[in-house]
Structures are given as C-alpha cells and as structure tokens.
Structure 1
Amino acid sequence: MTAELRVATLDDLQILVDLEAVTFPEDPWTPFMLADELSSPTSRYWIATNEAGDPVGYGGVKVGGDQADVMTIGVAPHARGRGVGRAILDALLGWARQAGAADIFLDVRPSNEGAIALYNSRGFVEIGRRPRYFRNPVEEAVEMRAPLTRAGAKTTTK
C-alpha cells in the first residue's frame, strides 16, 4: 500500500476521532484531547490515506526546545503491516528534526511488538519503563529514545 500523507488541521478533527476509535478502541483519546493537540503550535499531526483517498492512519509529534515526543501513531487494523506506520513515523521524525529537536522520545505498550520493531528500525532504544502507564488493560510503558541525527533515514514531510 502506498500511503499519501498530509498535514492534519483542526478541520480534520472528526477524521482523527474516527481513526482513534478504531485504532485504540480500548482507550481512545477524547475529541477535546485531539483538538488540543491539533491546535498546539508546538505539535504537528499527519493523516495517511490509501490509494482511494480513505484515511487509514495518523500520527503526531510535539517539539519543545531540543526534545520531541511522538504523541501517537495509529493505523487502522485493515492497513497494518503495509508501511503506513513507517511512513507516518518518518514524517514525524523529519518534522521534529526540522523543528530543531536533537532527541525524540515515545512510550509504547510492551505488548505492541510490531510498533517496537518499527521504532527499533528507526534508531529507537529502550531507556526505561513506566509502571501502570496505560489503562484498559493496565500495562507498563516502554520508554524509548532516538537521536534525531540518525533516526528515520527516509523522511517525508508532505
């Protein structure tokens, strides 16, 4: 699948709400949380669409000084394993680098082995654990970090 990426705006709120519901049904972000992220001048979100133009994923990053945080990456279940998450992550890494961040951080469920493999492929390493970080179900978070000088060798910032 070739994913087309575009920067999300507040006008895309319902698209993100709908994707959030199918990608994280056990613990979705609220529309208010997503609107807050889309409105933040320190955040950038992307929407991925398939060949038919249907939204199949999204992701966001926040930059503060020389550090950035991957806020979320979600890919619709039917589009997983097709490079959508990788394309989104590469866009996040590229924008964070352009915004001046030297390092990027994220939290991921240890049960999300596919995401961890993707992050490792882009230079992320585990730096710690946060007990009881996620809910529904309760699970610790794997904290990961990557230097932006080499993370995400292939970047796309459409």
Structure 2
Amino acid sequence: MRRGDVDAVLQLERAVYLFPWSARIFHDCLRVGYHAWVVTDDAGRVLGYSFLSIVLQEAHILNICVAESERGRGLADQLLDIMIEAATAARVESLMLEVRPSNRAARRLYKRRGFTFLGRRPRYYPASEGREDALLLCLSLVDA
C-alpha cells in the first residue's frame, strides 16, 4: 500500500465498517512503517487491504478488510498468508489480533487458520448500542 491508495482504501473502509478508521489513522499507519498491503482488480479498484505491526518477536494484525462483493473468494486468506509470511520472515514468534465476537466470518477464518483464544478485552470496540468486547487471538509461528 502506498499513500496514493489511502483514498480508495478509505472508501472501502467506510463501505464495510459502521465505525471506520479515519484517513489520519491510515496515513499514520503508513508513516510509522506498519506493513500494509492492498489487493486491486485489473481496473485498479481496491478489493481488500490489510495492516500488520511488527515489534520484536510479536506481530499484531491491525486490520483485514475485503469488499463485500468479493467475500468468499479467498482474498482474506491471501492477505493473511502475506502477513504470516512477513511475520515469519521477521522471525516473529506469535501473531496476535482482536476480533469482534459478532464477526463470525472472521472468527471462522482465524479458527480454520489455527489461531487460539487468549482472552477477552471488555468494551473494546464501538458498537451501535454501546461497546462490544474483543476476542484476543494468537497464532504461534515458532514451528511455522
């Protein structure tokens, strides 16, 4: 992902999430050097993107987003593969993430890919009716 992709990424973010990241968050993620990828079609339309933070032996998935029209085609798996490869290349021992309990598709993806439950972060996410907890998940990369 490059700075020039942020406007299109922001459009997708706003289309998919009730509480989207701001343009400033995307720019800050790129400015501080988080790993970021964007998937486009042949016409250059953004179909998905992801952000990964790597610090020492731990990596944290900050965001994976796929356009609703493209879901079920394996793009989230592809983005996850790229992030696992980057984390493995950086000799990361574990890959962490938070996910909404209500995001069943993401929870199925992470379970299928071997992530395990570590705990719950109460009232982590904004929600239509107050706040929603986050499930903290981890994938060990030590034997990957």
The one-letter code of the counterpart of 1:100 is: R
Q: Who is 1:68 aligned against?
A: 59
Any residues of structure 2 matched to 1:67-146 within 5 Å, and which? 67-137=58-128, 138-146=131-139
- The answer to whether residue 21 in structure 2 is matched with residue 15 in structure 1 is no
- The answer to whether residue 23 in structure 2 is matched with residue 31 in structure 1 is yes
The one-letter code of the counterpart of 1:64 is: V
Shift of the alpha carbon at 1:50?
Answer: 3.0
RMSD over aligned Cα atoms: 1.4
Could you tell me whether the CA contact under 8 Å between 1:10 and 1:39 is conserved in 2?
Answer: no
C-alpha distance in 1 between matches for 2:89 and 2:3: 22
Runs of 4+ residues over 4 Å off in structure 1: none
Shift of the alpha carbon at 1:101?
Answer: 1.1
C-alpha distance in 2 between matches for 1:32 and 1:53: 23
Aligned-partner SS, 2:50 = strand
Task: Tell me how many residue pairs correspond in the alignment.
Answer: 142
The one-letter code of the counterpart of 2:27 is: A
Query: What are the superposed Cα offsets for residues 9-51 of structure 1, whole Å, 9 maximum, x if unpaired?
Result: 1221112211111121x1000100110001222x111111235
C-alpha distance in 1 between matches for 2:11 and 2:91: 31
| TM-score, structure 1 as length reference | 0.84
C-alpha distance in 1 between matches for 2:38 and 2:143: 24
Could you tell me whether the CA contact under 8 Å between 1:19 and 1:58 is conserved in 2?
Answer: no
| TM-score, structure 2 as length reference | 0.92
C-alpha distance in 1 between matches for 2:87 and 2:110: 15
Q: Which has the higher contact order (CA 8 A, sep 6+)?
A: 1
| Gaps in structure 1 of 5+ consecutive residues | 1-7, 152-158
